[in-house]
Amino acid sequence: MPPTLRYSLTGIAALAALSGVHAVRDAGAGDNWLMGIAPNLCAAVAIPFVALGIWVDQRRDAGRRTTLRAFAWCAAGSLSGLVVWELVQRSTSGLVFDPWDLLATVVGTGLAAALIVVLAPAERPQ
């Protein structure tokens, strides 16, 4: 399976999990702590993999080191954006700030980092 497909499918799977969490919450069955933080966890996995899938699709000859470096940038951008979004919620009346969401975002980014180490292709000997 080409790396771009592997990364894109990982991002899509995380987006599907995010959608499933929202469906359960909308049905009223998800009024617990885990369902409260799950969207942040799923988004922290989905965003860097979707971005990496796009990046790798345009640079198909990228090696493992370059891919891991690109992933680090994607994950850092995702983590920053999600943290800023959570902090913005402190100053709005319609959204709820939850410090546990910040922790879920960090854990999700760590999970994404573990996944990329497994999913990135090994370097080819030259």
pLDDT by residue for the chain (126 residues), tens digit each?
888 899 999 999 999 999 999 999 888 876 788 888 999 999 999 999 999 999 998 987 888 999 999 999 999 999 999 999 999 999 998 888 999 999 999 999 999 999 999 999 877 655
pLDDT of residue 126: 57
Decide: 75 and 7 in contact? Cβ < 8 Å.
no
Q: Cα separations (Å) of 52 from 42, 59, 92, 118?
A: 16, 10, 31, 15
8 A C-beta contact, residue 42 and residue 115: no
DSSP state for residue 97 in the 8-state scheme: -
Measured distance CA(20)–CA(11) in Å, rounded = 14
